[in-house]
Every structure is written in structure tokens, then in C-alpha cells.
């Protein structure tokens, strides 16, 4: 994984993946389809075709939250470089999506051009997206100018104390992370309609869910929440198999569901959307869609507060005025929230990715 700040660019990561696929063309039949949103704002969909009959499909997707595409790129590269030989490529088609929110990755942001969190947009017409607690405590989330980082810190914690008194720590977390559809300038904004990026992904999911398969696996790569040195396999609550089933089957130390009790609740989650589609079509004999979540700051309360502060400050930076010194600190904090520079963290992320992926695909290889 490259850690140099000068290498932290969408263009560099995209080229690394493209170059790797060029190498693999010697051994596999590979096709690239591009969804173009703007100048150098492209989602590349790579397909590695099964050598014989397509019976199974493995999908890896990155960058639904743009800046999270950096760790996603590294892990896709790792998969292509070291793990693809563990897949039964005689009968498995592999699809790689890099990256689902290219403009956000290009600009080192999490959200698209409309300030929309794409993983809060897949519930249009299916789920209620109101977040009353967020609206009630919007004064805490409301963007403001930052002229001095130290003073902004004091302001944040003063407002946080009032928020906790009014809502409790669990209320703060629920209001912050669930998603909201009423404040376009706020964090975790879901928008008021289907975004262009969401529309593309929905159509891709529709296409895959219509293919008759023995097995369909979709793994979406994320970072930012959970223990710092332990990736979480985060299942959709729409998957009706109990966690005990997955813990026994995958032999992985941390498997949770995206619920308020286990992790946190999300309105408009992409995996939930996939399961709703699967329940309607049932074209695959077996479907498993999950998220790999790589924690960064950590999962203690103090870490969660720091994460929330980083999110709010970065949103302030996008929505309001900010002096140059404070901007530099905010951008540094935001990068560390989603793509830590620590070698120990990056090494552990690779180890967890390998272990979880091998548990899911079962080390099939070609027979």
C-alpha cells in the first residue's frame, strides 16, 4: 500500500488498478466498462470472465464513499496480485467496481457533488428517511465558519455537552449516523431523489440479480468505523441467517449486523437494497452481500466523538469559510479517518481482508 501524501490521488489509484489488469490479461479474459460522470470522473467496471461455464459470481466494490476508495483500491490490488488464484475462475465471474463515487474520491471527500452520502440513498420509496433527532439537534450539526482550529474545538465540545444532556450518548450516535433527508448542508445527507451514482449502481444490481447463478457474493469495501486494528464483517439485517451461522462458517472474529444494537442503524443502505432485490428475483441459489468495514480511529466513545468532530469539521470546510492553517489540519484529520498512514494499521487491514475473503470464498481454486 502506498502511504505517501503525494500519491494520494484518484488518478494514481485508478492507474495502478488499470495497470494490474493489463498484466492479468495474459491469463484471463478481461473486459472494462466505464461509467463516465465528468472529466476524469469515471467508474471502471472490470469483468474477469469465467474460463468455462459461469456458475458463480464474486463482486468487489470500492469508493461508495469516495475517500474510502483509497483503502478499497489497495485491497482490490492485493486481491488481484495475491488472491485471485484462490478463486475457481473456471466457473466464477469476477467483477470489480472502481470507484463508485469517483468525483468524491478525486476531491478527497466522502460525499458526491450534491453533498449526498450515497450509502443513505438506496431506500427511495422503500424506507422512511426522516431523522427527527437530527433535526431536533441540528444546531449541533449546522455548518459554521472556522477561523481558528482551537476555538472551533472548544465550540464543538461545548455544543456536544448540550447535545449529550439532551439526547444521551446513544441518541447522539443514532442522530449522527442514521442519515437525514432535510438538511442539504448537513452530514449524512441522503438527498431528495436518486443520485446519478446511485442510479448506476441500482441498474448494475438489477442486472446481476437477473442472472441465474449457483452463488452470488458481493463485498463492498468501507473504512472509518469500528475497532482500529480489527476489520468488521458487517452484514445487512436483511440477511435472515443468524450471526452464529456466519461466525461458524467464516471463522472470523468480528461479524456484526448493521443495526442500532450491534453497530449502527442506516437508512438507505446499499446492501439492504440488494437483499430486497434478491428476495424478489431469487435467480441465484445463494446470495451473500456484506460490507468489510475497516475501523480507523477506534471504537471507544472518545474515538467516536473524534470521528464525529472530524466529519463535522470537514463538512464545515466544504460549506463555509475556513482559514488555511485550520483547513490543513482538518484535511489531515479527515484523511486519517478513512486512510490511516500508520504502517501497522495498513498491514493489519491487509491481513484481515485476506482472512475474511478466504473465509467467504472458501479457498475454492481451480479443480
Kindly state the average pLDDT of the residues 271-295. Answer: 96
Better-scored residue on pLDDT, 125 or 365: 125
| Sheet with 232-235, edge to edge strand ranges | 30-38, 41-48, 92-98, 56-61, 213-223, 284-294, 232-235, 255-257
Question: Which band of pLDDT confidence, cut at 50, 70 and 90, is reported for residue 8?
Answer: confident
How far is Cα of residue 316 from the mean position of the Cα atoms in its chain? Answer: 22
Band of pLDDT at residue 125, cut at 50, 70 and 90: low
Q: Which of 26-30, 133-137, 248-252, 359-363 has the lowest mean pLDDT?
A: 359-363
Q: SS3 letters for the chain? A: CCCCHHHCCHHHHHHHHHHHHHHHCCCCCEEEEEEEEECCEEEEEEEECCCCCCCEEEEEECCCCHHHHHHHHHHHHHHHHHHHHHCCCCCEEEEEEECCCHHHHHCCCCCCCCCECHHHCCCCCCCCCCCHHHHHCHHHHCCCCECCHHHHHHHHHHHHHHHHHHHHHHHHHHHHHCCECCCCCCCCECCCCCCHHHHHHHHHHHHHHCCCEEEEEEEEEEECCCCCCCCEEEECCCCCCCHHHHHHHHCCCCEEECCCCCCCCCCCCHHHHHHHHHHHHCCEEEEEEEEEEECCCCCCHHHHHHHHHHHHHHHHHHHCCECHHHHHHHHHHHHHHHCCCCHHHHHHHHHHHHHHHHHHHCCCCCC
Considering only residues 345 and 181, tell me which one the structure prediction assigns the higher pLDDT: 345
Angle between helices 270-281 and 196-209 (to 10 degrees): 30
Pairing assessment for the beta strands 232-235 and 255-257 based on DSSP bridges: parallel
Name the band, by pLDDT with cuts 50, 70 and 90, for residue 213: very high
pLDDT in tens, 22-58: 999 999 999 999 999 998 999 999 999 999 999 999 9
Nearest CA-CA partner of 123 in 265, 221, 239? 265
pLDDT of res. 265: 75
What local confidence, expressed as pLDDT, does residue 6 receive?
Answer: 44
pLDDT at 126 over 80: no
With cut-offs at 50, 70 and 90, classify the pLDDT of residue 367.
Answer: very low
- Mean residue pLDDT of the chain comes to 92
Q: What is the pLDDT of residues 156-205, one digit of tens each?
A: 999 999 999 988 888 898 888 888 989 999 999 998 889 999 999 999 99
Tell whether the model's pLDDT for residue 238 goes beyond 60.
yes
Statement: residue 128 has pLDDT above 80: no
Give yes or no for residue 59 having a pLDDT over 90: yes
Higher pLDDT, 262 or 202: 202
Q: What is the mean pLDDT of residues 292-315?
A: 96
Return the pLDDT at 363.
Answer: 52
pLDDT at residue 3 greater than cutoff 50 = no
Query: Hey, what domains does the chain have and what are their CATH numbers?
Result: 5-127+193-296+339-361 (3.40.630.10), 132-177+303-329 (no CATH)
Q: At what angle do helices 149-177 and 324-338 cross, to 10 degrees?
A: 40
Q: In the predicted model, what is the mean pLDDT of residues 84-102?
A: 97
Amino acid at each position: 500500500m502506498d502511504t505517501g501524501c503525494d500519491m494520494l490521488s484518484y488518478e494514481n489509484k485508478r492507474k495502478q488498478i488499470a495497470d494490474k489488469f493489463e498484466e492479468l490479461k495474459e491469463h484471463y479474459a478481461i473486459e472494462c466498462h466505464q461509467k463516465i460522470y465528468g472529466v476524469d470522473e469515471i467508474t471502471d467496471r472490470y469483468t474477469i470472465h469465467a474460463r468455462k461455464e459461469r456458475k458463480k459470481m464474486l463482486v468487489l466494490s470500492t469508493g461508495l464513499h469516495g475517500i474510502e476508495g483509497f483503502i478499497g483500491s489497495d485491497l482490490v490490488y492485493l486481491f488481484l496480485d495475491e488472491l485471485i488464484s484462490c478463486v475457481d475462475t473456471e466457473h466464477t465471474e469476477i467483477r470489480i467496481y472502481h470507484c463508485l463515487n469517483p468525483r468524491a474520491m478525486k476531491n478527497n471527500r466522502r460525499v458526491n457533488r450534491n453533498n449526498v452520502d450515497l450509502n443513505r440513498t438506496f431506500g427511495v420509496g422503500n424506507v422512511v428517511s426522516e431523522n427527527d433527532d437530527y433535526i431536533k439537534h441540528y444546531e449541533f450539526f449546522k455548518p459554521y465558519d472556522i477561523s481558528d482550529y482551537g476555538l472551533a474545538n472548544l465550540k464543538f465540545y461545548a455544543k456536544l455537552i448540550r447535545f449529550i444532556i439532551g439526547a444521551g450518548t446513544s441518541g447522539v450516535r443514532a442522530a449522527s449516523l442514521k442519515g437525514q433527508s432535510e438538511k442539504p448542508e448537513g452530514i449524512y445527507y441522503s438527498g431528495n431523489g436518486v443520485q446519478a451514482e446511485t442510479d448506476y449502481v441500482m441498474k448494475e444490481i438489477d442486472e446481476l440479480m437477473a442472472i441465474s447463478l449457483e452463488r452470488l457474493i458481493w463485498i463492498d469495501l468501507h473504512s472509518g468505523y469500528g475497532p482500529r486494528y480489527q476489520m468488521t464483517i458487517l452484514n445487512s439485517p436483511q440477511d435472515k441467517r443468524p450471526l452464529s451461522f456466519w461466525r461458524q462458517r467464516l471463522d472470523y472474529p468480528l461479524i456484526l449486523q448493521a443495526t442500532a444494537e450491534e453497530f449502527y442503524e442506516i437508512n438507505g443502505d446499499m446492501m439492504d437494497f440488494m437483499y430486497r432485490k434478491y428476495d424478489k428475483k431469487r435467480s441465484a441459489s445463494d446470495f451473500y452481500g456484506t460490507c468489510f468495514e475497516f475501523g480507523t480511529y477506534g471504537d471507544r466513545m472518545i474515538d467516536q466523538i473524534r470521528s464525529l468532530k472530524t466529519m463535522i469539521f470537514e463538512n464545515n470546510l466544504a460549506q463555509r469559510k475556513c482559514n488555511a492553517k485550520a483547513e490543513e489540519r482538518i484535511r489531515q484529520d479527515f484523511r486519517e479517518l478513512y486512510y490511516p498512514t500508520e504502517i501497522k494499521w495498513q498491514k493489519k487491514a491487509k491481513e484481515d481482508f485476506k482472512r475474511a475473503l478466504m473465509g467467504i470464498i472458501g479457498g475454492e481454486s481451480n479443480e
